[in-house]
């Protein structure tokens, strides 16, 4: 139901105003809360403890009174479901997704899911939606660069690497 609701009432193009900043943040947080409610209780709690509250695995396992291995499995499954959903449906996680907060905001206001006079989650002064998009793109770019740098096959190194480097830069060791 949540997936279908996200695609219902999207506007073709949207240019949010400066006044929409708080409303867009409220929508983004509300959407995240709704997505978490789609997880079953065990996976939701594991996800919140691990990825939102950032407890280490031992602490989270103690809170839930389960083994670390069991906790890690719950967290992995919950995280996998969140990643799968957001990568398919959220414009912040996937630029090709239908749903973006600016396109969704008019429908969220019309359905009374977000109210300008009743902000429950968003904080004034929090980064604007376009700043969040820019941060996501920056992180994606950094991860792509890291992936490219670490994707090289193993190669043989000269016996005396420092001598070879010195030779390249024109020094003697």
Question: In Å, how far from its chain's centre is CA 25?
Answer: 14
* Residue 119 reports pLDDT greater than 60: yes
CATH numbers and ranges of domains, the chain: 2-131 (1.10.10.10)
Task: Name the band, by pLDDT with cuts 50, 70 and 90, for residue 172.
Answer: low
18-24: long-range contacts (C-beta < 8 A, 24 or more apart)? 20/102, 20/105, 21/128, 21/129, 22/116, 22/119, 22/122, 22/124, 23/105, 23/109, 23/114, 23/116, 23/119, 23/122, 24/101, 24/102, 24/105, 24/128, 24/129
Confidence at residue 42, expressed as pLDDT on a 0 to 100 scale: 96
Distance, in Å, from the CA atom of 29 to the CA atom of 114, rounded to the nearest integer, reads 10
Question: pTM for the whole thing?
Answer: 0.68
CA-nearest of 81, 90, 102, 94 to 31 is 90
Distance, in Å, from the CA atom of 61 to the CA atom of 149, rounded to the nearest integer, reads 35
Q: What would the mean pLDDT of 41-47 be, rounded to a whole number?
A: 95
| Three-state DSSP state, 124 | coil
Contact 132/90 with Cβ under 8 angstroms?
Answer: no
How long a stretch of residues is the chain?
Answer: 173
């Amino acid at each position: 139901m949540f997936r279908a609701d996200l695609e219902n009432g999207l506007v073709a193009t949207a240019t949010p105003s400066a006044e929409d900043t708080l409303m867009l943040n409220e929508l983004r947080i509300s959407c995240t809360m709704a997505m978490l409610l789609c997880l079953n209780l065990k996976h939701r709690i594991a996800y919140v403890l691990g990825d939102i509250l950032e407890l280490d695995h031992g602490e989270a396992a103690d809170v839930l009174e389960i083994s670390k291995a069991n906790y890690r499995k719950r967290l992995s499954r919950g995280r996998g479901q969140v990643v799968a959903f957001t990568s398919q449906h959220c414009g912040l996680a996937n630029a090709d997704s239908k749903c973006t907060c600016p396109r969704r905001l008019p429908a969220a206001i019309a359905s009374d899911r977000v109210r300008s006079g009743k902000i429950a989650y968003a904080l004034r002064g929090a980064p604007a939606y376009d700043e969040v998009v820019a941060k996501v793109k920056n992180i994606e770019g950094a991860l792509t660069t890291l992936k490219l740098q670490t994707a090289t096959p193993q190669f043989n190194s000269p016996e005396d690497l420092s001598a070879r480097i010195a030779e390249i830069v024109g020094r003697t060791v």
